[in-house]
Amino acid sequence: QSGSRLVVAADSEPRNLNPAIVASNGVFFISSKVIEPLAEASFDGGGDGEGGLAPRLATSWEGSDDGLSATFKLREGVKWHDGQPFTSADVAFSALQVWKPLQNLGRLVFANLEAVDTPDDHTAVFRFAKPTPFQLIRNALPVVSSVVAKHIFEGEADIAASEANNKLVGTGPFRFAEHRPGEYYRLERNPDYWGEGEPKLDEIIFRVLPDRAAAAGALEAGEIQLAAFSQVPLTDLDRISKVPGIEVYSKGYEALTYQLGVEINHRRAELANVRVRQAIAHAIDRDFVVRTIFLGYAETATGIVPKNAPEFYNGDVPLHPFDVDKANALLDEAGYPRKDGGARFALRLLPAPYFTETRQFGDYLRQALAAVGIDATVVNNDAAAHQKAVYTDHDFDLAVAPTVFRGDPAISTTILVRSGTPAGVPFSNQGGYENKEIDALIDKAGETVDTAARTALYKQLQVLVAEDLPIINVADWGFITVASSQVKNVSNNPRWAVSSWADTELDA
Amino acid sequence: MNRALRLLRRRLISSIPVLLIVIVGAFFLLELAPGDAADAYLLSIGGGDPALVQALRQSYGLEGSTLSRLWLYLTSLARFDLGWSVTFNRPIAGLIAERLPNTLWLMVGAVGLSFTAGSLLGIVAGSKPGSWRDRLLSTGSLALYAVPSFWLGLVLIVLFSVQLRWFPTSGIETIASGKQGLARARDIAWHLALPVAALGLIYLALFLRMMRAGMAEAWRQDYALAARARGIGPARIAVFHIARNALLPLVTMLGLHAASMLGGSVVIESVFAIPGFGRLAQEAVAGRDAPLLTGIILVSAVLVILVNLAVDMAYAFLDPRVGANEVVA
Amino acid sequence: MSAIKRLLRSPAGVAGLVLLALLVLAALSAPLLFPGDPLAIAGPPLTPPFTDPAFPLGTDRLGRNVLAGLFHGAQASLAVGLAAAAVSIIFGALVGTIAGFAGGLVDEALMRVVDAFQTVPGFLLALAFVSVSGASLPVVILAVALGAWTGPARLARAEVLSIRERDYVAAARVIGMHPAEIALREVLPNALPPVLALAAVIVGNAVLIESALSFLGLGDPNIVTWGSMIAEGRNVLRSAPFLSIVPGVGLVVTVLGVYLLAEGLSDALASRKARP
Amino acid sequence: MRAPLLAVHNLTKTYRSGGREVKGLDNVSMSVAAGETIGLVGPSGSGKSTLARVVMRLIEPDSGTIAFGDENLGALSGKALRSMRKRIQMVFQDPSAAFNPRATVADVLADPLRIHGLASRAERPRRIAELLDSVGLPANLAARPVHAVSGGQRQRVAIARALATEPELIVLDEAVSALDVTVRGQILDLLVALQRERGLAYLFVSHDLAVVRAVSHRIAIMDRGRIVEAGPAATVVADPQSETGRALVAAIPRLHIPRLHTLQPHTSQPHGEASQNA
Amino acid sequence: MMSDVLASLRGLTVTYGSGESAHVALHGLDLDILKGERLAVIGESGSGKSTLALALGGLLPPEARIAGHIGWPGFAAQPRAGRDIGFVFQDAGASLNPVIPVGRQIAEVARLHLGLTRHAARERARALLERVRIPDPDRALGAYPHQLSGGQRQRVAIAAAIAGEPSLLIADEATSALDTIVQAEIVALLDELVRAEGMTLIFITHDIALASGFADRIAVLHDARLVEAGPAPTLLGAPKEAYTAKLLASHIGLDTPPLITEKQP
Ligand SMILES: Nc1ncnc2c1ncn2[C@@H]1O[C@H](COP(=O)(O)OP(=O)(O)OP(=O)(O)O)[C@@H](O)[C@H]1O
Ligand SMILES: Nc1ncnc2c1ncn2[C@@H]1O[C@H](COP(=O)(O)OP(=O)(O)OP(=O)(O)O)[C@@H](O)[C@H]1O
Ligand SMILES: [Mg+2]
Ligand SMILES: [Mg+2]
Ligand code: NI
């Protein structure tokens, strides 16, 4: 059908739109329609016969037993938006010139990538200097493997600063048409797309709407048809779900799980005491948080791996259920009795500023801590100041962090508890926590090529973390998509909002 | 008009040190803030490693001292180059040129609305001080003034966009409509109706009350009594003799409030998703983009100075006494 | 007739006084009527008003008592307003007076600084300042003062300049009074009242600016202010409008009160001037 | 003639405003002897107030000298100038503008006593009462705010303030112009009496030649910043030499009391007719 | 006919304000104003002179309450300010609108009361400026009040007051803000105009000498009451009331004996 235009709310305009360089959801949200990864997350089977991955630019993948190579068979007959053919040279270029040296997550995943062999136009063989678990590569594919065109970037002195990063040329179902800063991005149908009968839409417009309440209004007024990433405030969902012609989806974010965690500065004597940390864990009513702050659109967390990652999840860990008396007893035991005023000690609590929920949880945590005699002051910073205070200057006692589980614990989870990360790295262990046992376990898992053995190590890690609580995980949450009922095929994969939308349709 | 020219020259000369203070102040404000552009960026992309942080700092030119950066900035300003925005990865001049018109339209609309409606209603209210009409108008407008603008904006959206669907909820024009010329102007006006109302209604009270007070004051002047003594009717006195005198302080206030209105648009732009100056400034602050914020503040200061110049000219036009010492006859 | 008597005679002034008295009463009684932290989670979230006698005005998103917030918010709003007004008046009057007395280069330099602050949109400045310094009550107060001190500075300077030319200052010089004494005893006491009358306007603006900052997420999270209540309530503007209407009414009453009082005050001061 | 008490030489003062220059004083020289009253008259804007204020060192002249007794008054500054002020005082035209709006009569009179150390704190109430008495005011007026007494009384308070430092010269700038005629007569009588008792000298500024004539020994006529004519009061009035002098004399309204020669309505020219060609 | 009564005031009482702050500015005034006469009203500050003038023109402020009766036997109907009664106030600078050229201010009156066209009214304004002896009236038409000297401003105010060809002209301290030289000029002008146009003049002043110069009759006000009124020669030559005599005695003229001994001490 023709003339179908999908208007979507977007809440930010990334300064670098190239997903091969910036692997973040804000970038993927727009660019994933233009630039494709080797494989995408899926609710069902994958190219290697195992669950969870669907082929995109790669049709199949296989890792060697020694963990020193991985082979990708590439899709044939794919053309770049400018008409050039897509070949293995593009993959090699992307991996060696972009993912490994430039990409925020690729730098870690491909740290040991040495070379990419291209025996033919449709085969790419990744060679690693040290054994690299294929489980990790595989899990990371949807996030780290966005392929860019070699002929576009080749010869650029500084790829990271290239103009081409914001005028994307990809292989995806939509071509980048225009960006009116502050107003919208417009993507148009790629008539030469490899997917048969795809894309179904003629045009996608990402309309920049920074205010969440405004997005809800625009949706109701019919000015936009879709708002993903909870752009419609959770509190408004109950009402808006009753508006005829509007659907609410909570599926489609399974591989984009955000984790609400309390980061702890272990340099504070009180917080270095495990009893105090346990007391704090007991002081938090996780059910209340899920029910009231997330209005049920979340799950209580048991540790650093969310339930949404069944491959690694271990629910059989020490839990710290909500128990104010227990918390008080632990604090008394730890040697911090209530003083005259009823407070044991004072803390500074820095909630991360980017989500309403993290802030609200900050407000809640202040109250929860007050109930056990800890006097917390909430410090409200903007993003830059928060980054500086928590991750560079370590000038905090507790921080609320929305960390992301990215398919494999090695990508962005173990960094939360492994000691030795230099200052300045966000969402890493900046609390100065150091546990030899945990460090050794993480290092071992990093070298373990065998999938089962590696998985077991991570399950054990969850137990250790739950016992010692270097970080307190409270809830795991996804997002909500609200769309006009005209929009079809919504939320049909675990990373739907940041996938290609090749099959998304709009009923007349 | 030689007295106008004299005024102009004096104004321009005295604005040079003012702009210098503004530039240096704005620059330091962000330079001294906790966190820099690299910090802001890193969080926005969800993390990275230490080497990336280093690379970012280097590519943003954040290595030298604050003073050396200020010097660099000033020298580039001297070449009429506003610099490069790391947040947007674009030249600042282009960025500002793109956003400024939207804010200007909003301001012009809001000022036009509040000034004309305010002064007209002020004449109505001030022509009979103490009457119920006067009380209603002046207290009612004050109540509007006391409503936070963002809240008024949201209520207008709910009422007129979502419920009645008379106006669009947000944006400056219909997206990707391809409209040109007059059709586009109409489209923009239609989009601006609500934000202009939200901002204009707030300031309406200011002008209304000032006009009303000015009218009351002017009525007490001898020339009002003299006009009555010459047999001129009250309506004619109000409109032809008093209103113009009462308008003078309003014009002055227009200049004084130009800056505050520009500030007020920050919130309105955010509510109505208008890609304007205010939002750009917010993003500059969030991104710790000192050159961008300085550029924005500099341009708004220049704008305010220009408005004040225009106000002075208008004042000189309205009040023959300004700057004149020559004696005729 | 004293200025106070005249104030009590103007309907605007009396209305303003009554509104503000109510507000002060609410602020003072807040800790008595609602002891404890008004931010404490007290009941089920989003209780509509007039349904639960324990929460006459309902509860918010997290189950906090809206009525308690309203009363404690009065305290915070008044505190922000008064402190901001005090800071800007004191600082502004100081700068203005120095400029007025010193004249010459000092005057010129100070007035250029005043100009600079006046050409920068005050809210932009406040926004940048709070983002950069971290949102806490003192910072918000300073941010408001940053945009508000120029008014008092200009007015103080103008008053000093005009009073300096009055005959009674000349008379003081004639009897040989020391310039410092002239400044302190003859000029300042007569220059300050109109400057003080500006306070009311600043209080009103401060309350509004605080609410706008809260709207943009830059309020002090440890304190209830009406601004933060409205800012939070706006997310549920449609489903629970009372959450933003209740504090909104508080805000309107406050600003209305201070403006009416300001009007009454300026009338009272003006008629004193007009007296022969 | 004795050495003059006040002597000014070649005083010049030019006001600049909006690019225009106005000669406030143009090369003015004059003197006042002890115990003498000099009347200064002239049309509006002729520079009378400028001269009075320059003499008082309230306005700085562009050039010229001011000598008072043996002192070079024009060159004094700071403490020296302030202590010199004891000897030369001033009374202003508008009795309501010349007092701090917050002061009481006692405050006003205590200030000069305190500043020049003329009376200890304990003696002040008595001195204030004496001062009030010397200008014909009751002592109980001291507690009243200055703005709560009548215009005539206020001008008496102003004179008392000037007398407090026991000066040798008082400059009176239109000191009686704002008063009703009946009050004006009383104040003039008071001034003359004080002069007789204390040997005060006055520089009496007024635009009303008749009043000046009534109280001055000598009269100086100013026009456009210059002294165009000066001489003994009787002479100047009887036979003005300057154009301005003649115009001033002609313009004074004469009280015309007819001898009841006719009860017909009056149809003659007004008595100031000569002014039309001034 | 000199004895025709133009206006007759009976028991005229004007009170400002009410309650405890009420202030009686005129108290039981009985006075006839004769057609064609020149009546001088004298009195000290606050005696009620301006109040009387405003009451005659119906221009009292809203806070004034008026009692008693003002009859206008000299007019067919209630006289209108501007058309039948012209006013000149003390401060000419303040009684002219600062932002309107003086020519327009005069022409406005002429258009309003004489029904002239815009052009004719302008011509009349020009003629009036010439009549009040403003040099270069063509230029003065477009001048703003601040561009004129004090005396010229008062002349313009007079021109505006007589632009409607009123038969009664009230001049309230029209000369007391001016210096003596200019005062004499303006008095001469008024005197001449009134005679030439056959207008009745009420000349309000605090200066008894000025009044004595050209008034037919004089009314003396004191403390809100009419002390006495009568033909100028009678009143000046043989005042009936002590207050009038005191006013006369207080006058200082050139022939008043000096208060000092003229020799130098
Ligand atoms: N501060 C000033 N700035 C500019 N011009 C001034 C100033 N003071 C006085 N003048 C001008 O200087 C001239 C002399 O003024 P001055 O006040 O001395 O006159 P005067 O004789 O006292 O007049 P009057 O009788 O009206 O009081 C006038 O033309 C006046 O306009
Ligand atoms: N609008 C008013 N409100 C209250 N009192 C007034 C008002 N106008 C005049 N008065 C008072 O009424 C009395 C008479 O005033 P009026 O102006 O008639 O006096 P006047 O003889 O014209 O005095 P002057 O010579 O000072 O002009 C005065 O005491 C004055 O204070
Ligand atoms: Mg003078
Ligand atoms: Mg009067
Ligand atoms: Ni005669």
Residue C81 lies in a domain: yes
Cβ of D19 within 8 Å of Cβ of B325? The answer is yes
CA distances from A228 to A475, A497, D253, E137 (A): 20, 7, 94, 78
- Highest mean pLDDT out of A77-86, B168-177, B298-307, C188-197: A77-86
ipTM above 0.95, yes or no: no
Rounded Cα distance between A109 and A136, Å, is 8
What's the gap in Å between D44 CA and the centre of ligand 3? 7
What pLDDT is recorded for position C272? 45
Cβ of B157 within 8 Å of Cβ of A354? The answer is no
- Residue A78: pLDDT band (50, 70, 90) is very high
Mean pLDDT, range E207-235, rounded to an integer:
90
Residues in Cβ contact with E71 at an 8 Å cutoff, skipping those fewer than 6 apart: E7, E8, E9, E10
User: Residues with Cβ within 6 A of ligand 1?
Assistant: D 15, 17, 22, 24, 42, 44-50, 207
Mean pLDDT, range B205-228, rounded to an integer:
85
Mean pLDDT, range C232-240, rounded to an integer:
80
Quick one: which atom of ligand 1 is closest to the CA of D46?
A: 21
Rounded Cα distance between B12 and B198, Å, is 33
What's the gap in Å between B262 CA and the centre of ligand 3? 47
CA distances from C57 to C28, C48, C64, C241 (A): 19, 7, 10, 12
Q: Is B99 on the interface with A (CB under 8 A)?
A: yes
Amino acid at residue number B129: P
The domain of C221 spans: 13-27+69-264
What's the gap in Å between D210 CA and the centre of ligand 1? 22
**DSSP state for residue C135 in the 8-state scheme:** B
- Residue A484: pLDDT band (50, 70, 90) is very high
Lowest mean pLDDT among C230-244, E36-50, E173-187, E225-239: C230-244
Amino acid at residue number A451: T
- Residue A458: pLDDT band (50, 70, 90) is very high
Contact C191, C168 (CB under 8 A): no
Q: Is B130 on the interface with E (CB under 8 A)?
A: no
Smallest CA–CA distance, residue C39 to chain B, in Å, is 22
Taking the CA of residue C130 as centre, how many other CA atoms within 13 Å lie in the half-sphere pointing to its CB? Answer: 33
Pocket residue to mutate for ligand 2, from E21, E23, E41, E91, most atoms within 8 A of Cβ = E23
CA distances from A175 to A21, A28, A81, A170, C231 (A): 19, 14, 7, 7, 39
3-state secondary structure of D41: strand
- Whichever domain contains C189, its CATH number is 1.10.3720.10
CATH code of the domain occupying B99-326: 1.10.3720.10
Closest CA relative to residue B243, chosen from B322, B126, B324? B126
Residues in Cβ contact with E46 at an 8 Å cutoff, skipping those fewer than 6 apart: none
> Could you say which residues from 139 to 168 on chain B have a Cβ atom under 8 Å away from some Cβ of chain C?
139, 142-143, 145-151, 154-155, 158
What pLDDT is recorded for position B29? 81
Residue E23 lies in a domain: no
Rounded Cα distance between A391 and A426, Å, is 6
Q: Is B3 on the interface with E (CB under 8 A)?
A: no
Chain A residues touching residue C69 (CB < 8 angstroms): none
Cβ of C132 within 8 Å of Cβ of B33? The answer is yes
Cβ of C254 within 8 Å of Cβ of B30? The answer is no
What's the gap in Å between D24 CA and the centre of ligand 1? 6
Residues C49-95 have pLDDT tens digits of 888 888 888 888 888 888 888 899 888 888 888 999 999 999 999 99
Residues A357-393 have pLDDT tens digits of 898 899 999 999 999 999 999 998 888 888 888 888 8
What is the rounded radius of gyration, in angstroms, for the C-alpha atoms of chain A? 23
Residue E261 lies in a domain: no
- Reply yes or no on whether the pLDDT at E24 is more than 50: yes
Q: Which residue has the higher pLDDT, D236 or A157?
A: D236
What is the rounded radius of gyration, in angstroms, for the C-alpha atoms of chain D? 20
Cβ of C175 within 8 Å of Cβ of D85? The answer is yes
Taking the alpha carbons at both ends of chain A, their separation in whole angstroms is 9
Q: How many domains does the structure of chain E reveal?
A: 1
- Residue A334: pLDDT band (50, 70, 90) is very high
Cβ of B146 within 8 Å of Cβ of C251? The answer is yes
Contact D160, D109 (CB under 8 A): yes
Q: Which of A236, A292, A364 minimises the CB distance to C238?
A: A236
Contact B234, B127 (CB under 8 A): yes
Contact B38, B62 (CB under 8 A): yes
CA distances from B167 to B174, B188, C236 (A): 11, 11, 21
Residues with CB under 5 A from ligand 4 (ion): E 50
Cβ of E146 within 8 Å of Cβ of B321? The answer is yes
What pLDDT is recorded for position A181? 84
Residue E42 lies in a domain: yes
Contact C75, C69 (CB under 8 A): no
> What order of strands is seen across the sheet that includes strand E5-16?
E23-34, E5-16, E64-71
- Reply yes or no on whether the pLDDT at D272 is more than 50: no
Residue pointed to by tokens 């009941």? C43
Domain ranges of chain B: 16-92, 99-326
The C-alpha torsion from C51 through C52 and C55 to C56, rounded to 10°, is 50
Residue C77 lies in a domain: yes
Chain C residues touching residue A367 (CB < 8 angstroms): 37, 39-41
What pLDDT is recorded for position D276? 35
Q: Which residues pair with E205 in a beta bridge?
A: E42
Cβ of B256 within 8 Å of Cβ of C211? The answer is no
Residue of E nearest to D248 (CA): E181
Q: Which of C120, C238, C255 minimises the CB distance to B300?
A: C120
- Return the ligand number nearest the Cα of E181: 1
What pLDDT is recorded for position C269? 66
Pocket residue to mutate for ligand 1, from D17, D26, D41, D48, most atoms within 8 A of Cβ = D48
Quick one: which atom of ligand 1 is closest to the CA of E179?
A: 25
Residue C216 lies in a domain: yes
What's the gap in Å between B126 CA and the centre of ligand 1? 37
Residue of E nearest to B243 (CA): E99
CA distances from A5 to A181, A185, A203, A226, A484 (A): 20, 13, 5, 11, 13
User: How do A5-10 and E225-231 pair as beta strands?
Assistant: unpaired
Q: Left if phi > 0, otherwise alpha if psi is -120 to 50, otherwise beta: which for B89?
A: left
- Whichever domain contains E111, its CATH number is 3.40.50.300
Quick one: which atom of ligand 2 is closest to the CA of E53?
A: 18
CA distances from E106 to C109, E129, E163, E197 (A): 47, 9, 7, 18
What's the gap in Å between D23 CA and the centre of ligand 3? 14
Residue C274 lies in a domain: no
Mean pLDDT, range B279-295, rounded to an integer:
85
Amino acid at residue number D40: L
The domain of E119 spans: 36-58+77-251
Taking all residues of chain D, what is their mean pLDDT, rounded to a whole number?
86
Quick one: which atom of ligand 1 is closest to the CA of D17?
A: 4
Domains of chain D are 6-251 (3.40.50.300)
Scored b (16 or more CB within 10 A) or e, B231-263 reads bbeeeebbeebbbbbbbbbbbbbbbbbbbbbbb
Chain B residues touching residue D17 (CB < 8 angstroms): 325
Which percentage of chain E shows pLDDT scores above 70? 97
Alpha-helical regions (H) of D1-62: 48-55
Taking all residues of chain A, what is their mean pLDDT, rounded to a whole number?
89
Lowest mean pLDDT among A386-400, B289-303, C252-266: C252-266
**DSSP state for residue E82 in the 8-state scheme:** T
Cβ of E181 within 8 Å of Cβ of D275? The answer is yes
- Reply yes or no on whether the pLDDT at A232 is more than 90: no
- Residue A259: pLDDT band (50, 70, 90) is very high
Q: Work out the angle at residue A379's Cα, subtended by the Cα atoms of residues A377 and A382, and round it to the nearest 5 degrees.
A: 170
- Reply yes or no on whether the pLDDT at E121 is more than 80: yes
Lowest mean pLDDT among C133-137, D232-236, D270-274, E200-204: D270-274
Residue C1 lies in a domain: no
Scored b (16 or more CB within 10 A) or e, E73-84 reads ebeeeebebbbb
Q: How many domains does the structure of chain C reveal?
A: 1
What's the gap in Å between E174 CA and the centre of ligand 1? 22
pTM for this model (two decimals) = 0.82
**DSSP state for residue B90 in the 8-state scheme:** E
- Residue D269: pLDDT band (50, 70, 90) is very low
DSSP codes of every residue in B154-205: HHHIIIIIIIS--S-SS-SS-TT----HHHHHHHHHHHHHHHHHHHHHHHHH
Rounded Cα distance between A403 and A405, Å, is 7
- Reply yes or no on whether the pLDDT at C12 is more than 50: yes
What pLDDT is recorded for position D263? 43
Amino acid at residue number A287: D
- Highest mean pLDDT out of B146-155, D11-20, E165-174: E165-174
Chain C positions with Cβ closer than 8 Å to A: 37, 39-41, 45-46, 61-63, 131-132, 134-136, 217-222, 234-240
C115 phi, psi to nearest 5 deg: -55, -45
Contact C151, C92 (CB under 8 A): yes
3-state secondary structure of A299: strand
DSSP codes of every residue in B242-310: IHHHHHHHHHHHHHHHHHHHHHHHHHHHHHHT--SHHHHHHHHHHTT-HHHHHHHHHHHHHHHHHHHHH
> What order of strands is seen across the sheet that includes strand E200-205?
E85-88, E168-172, E200-205, E38-43, E217-222, E225-231
Residue E14 lies in a domain: no
Which percentage of chain A shows pLDDT scores above 90? 53
A446 phi, psi to nearest 5 deg: -65, -25
Closest CA relative to residue D61, chosen from D227, D69, D52? D52
Structural tokens at position B311: 């106000």
User: Residues with Cβ within 6 A of ligand 2?
Assistant: E 16-17, 23, 25, 43, 45-51, 61, 63, 206
Angle between the B277-286 and B92-126 helix axes, to the nearest 10 degrees?
130
Smallest CA–CA distance, residue D20 to chain B, in Å, is 7
